[in-house]
Amino acid sequence: MEGLVYKSTGSWYTVKDVATGQFYECRIKGKFRLKGIKNTNPIAVGDRVLFRLEESNRGVITEIKERDNYIIRKSVNLSKQTHIIASNINLAFLVVTLNNPPNSTTFIDRFLVTAEAYGIKTVLLFNKVDTYTEDELTEVKYLASIYRKAGYECIGISATTGKNIDKVKATMEGKTCVVSGHSGAGKSTLINAIAPNLHLKTAEISQQHQQGQHTTTFAEMFDLPFGARIIDTPGIKGFGMVEIEKEELTDYFPEFFALKHQCKFNNCLHTDEPQCAVKAALDRDEIAWSRYKSYLQILKGEESVYREGEGE
């Protein structure tokens, strides 16, 4: 039987039979791992698996299919093991606000780089558009124009009033999605606007965080009535960590990547090299300075892209 993992509690997995839509509690027998991944959990939410039934509603997972992508969290100890939070994600939403809380372009760019490295498409949601002044709206539109030029879809929304929530839903159709954003950016309000009956854990978890409590939670996937899936990742901040080689970084800035082959040197890092197409585009204002600045920061390792504690 072919299944999709919706929930993991460590030793038991909730698996949906893709043929019938029926859910089963499954466990794994023995050890099985995917090549090249040193992780603490063999099965993650979003995994496509094969399973067989042992009792009427309980089963055993016998095989895991190759993942299209996955997001990880590094364990805090020195074992260098990683925890796979979720897999096979088609779309990430990053909820951003101008000033409540303030979201820097550096924060946005770091998120986008990590998502690109994971191979996950991102849509930027500029939330709270109903609360901005004329000047602030102009600024939001300018920000959106930077990211549209870089190749990202941007939608101005209000999770509170419901503005453009239908557009968000339309982009989700048929996809498995995750929602990220700074605490206070309106992530849980958005999820509630998209799926009022889910009552995800996101909100209560972030409150617990503020109280300094240590909570271990598990990701969980939900079917939405309009043919999409959402993976709730309570208590998980940002997109975890990835290691990126300097030479690879251009690949994760789509508008740089498009020009890369026009640089004189094929290993151009777009810093001091002569006849660099990226810097030429920057001079012509075709690439935003804020994007180039973020690129340099990440390149020089001034600030880690991958820092935990950014957003949730």
Residue 116, token pair as written in the block: 């690109």
Distance in angstroms (rounded) separating the CA atoms of residues 312 and 299: 24
Contact set with Zn ion (CB under 5 A): 263, 268, 270, 276, 278
Q: Pick between residue 51 and residue 295 the one whose CB is nearest to Zn ion.
A: 295
**Residue 65 Cβ vs Zn ion, minimum distance, rounded to whole Å:** 39
Q: Which helix (H) or strand (E) holds 72?
A: strand 70-74
Q: Pick between residue 295 and residue 306 the one whose CB is nearest to Zn ion.
A: 295
Distance in angstroms (rounded) separating the CA atoms of residues 110 and 226: 31
Q: Pick between residue 104 and residue 271 the one whose CB is nearest to Zn ion.
A: 271
**Residue 178 Cβ vs Zn ion, minimum distance, rounded to whole Å:** 32
Name beta bridge partners: 181: 95
Residue 218, token pair as written in the block: 């598990």
Distance in angstroms (rounded) separating the CA atoms of residues 309 and 312: 7
Q: Is the peptide bond before 101 cis (omega within 30 degrees of 0)?
A: yes
**Residue 221 Cβ vs Zn ion, minimum distance, rounded to whole Å:** 41
Q: Pick between residue 1 and residue 258 the one whose CB is nearest to Zn ion.
A: 258
**Residue 82 Cβ vs Zn ion, minimum distance, rounded to whole Å:** 32
**Cα dihedral across residues 5, 67, 214, 102: positive or negative:** negative
According to DSSP, residue 21 is labeled: -
Q: Pick between residue 198 and residue 269 the one whose CB is nearest to Zn ion.
A: 269
**Residue 272 Cβ vs Zn ion, minimum distance, rounded to whole Å:** 10
